[in-house]
Amino acid sequence: MYREKKIKRLRRLRRRKRVRGKVYGTQERPRLSVYRSNKHIYAQIINDDQGHTLVSASSLEKDIAANEGLTPVEVGRLVGQRLAERAREAGIETVVFDRNFYQYHGRIKALADGAREAGLQF
């Protein structure tokens, strides 16, 4: 059992390294990084040149968490929309999407679609 978990973790790290090798955020086009746990989803826009987080949003925010009865996919869409609104206020219009090691499916896809709907360009 321990060996299986270790192999799974190594595969995940390999996928992350492969994705991050291709994705880099600059001042003109920062990186939108996504992390999801079993309960929540987090997203932030990062300038890798300076190592600064410019904007962030998550499902832990009070107004998003107050929406009872939403599916995790609907919550992901709300987080994406909130992130895009904050990015537009900060003057960010285009980003490069970093899905980490997650499949572009479900909550990750919903977050990206929500951000696009709110005006963020990938």
* DSSP alpha helix (H) spans, 23-71: 62-65
pTM of the model: 0.87
* pLDDT for residue 30: 96
* pLDDT for residue 39: 94
* pLDDT for residue 2: 86
- The predicted-structure confidence for 20-35, as pLDDT tens digits, reads as follows 888 898 889 999 999 9
**How large is the average pLDDT for residues 87-105?**
94
* pLDDT for residue 116: 96
Query: Which listed CATH number (3.30.70.2740, 3.40.50.1110, 3.30.420.100, 3.30.565.10) goes with 2-117?
Result: 3.30.420.100
* pLDDT for residue 22: 86
Determine the length of the chain: 122
Residue partners of 21: CB distance under 8 A and separation at least 6: none
Residue 2 structure tokens: 């321990």
Residue 117 pLDDT grade (very low, low, confident, very high; cuts 50, 70, 90): very high
**CA end-to-end span of the chain:** 40
Domain coordinates in residue numbering, the chain: 2-117
- The predicted-structure confidence for 32-75, as pLDDT tens digits, reads as follows 999 999 999 999 999 999 999 999 999 999 999 888 889 999 99
* Rounded Cα–Cα distance for residues 34 and 49 (Å): 18
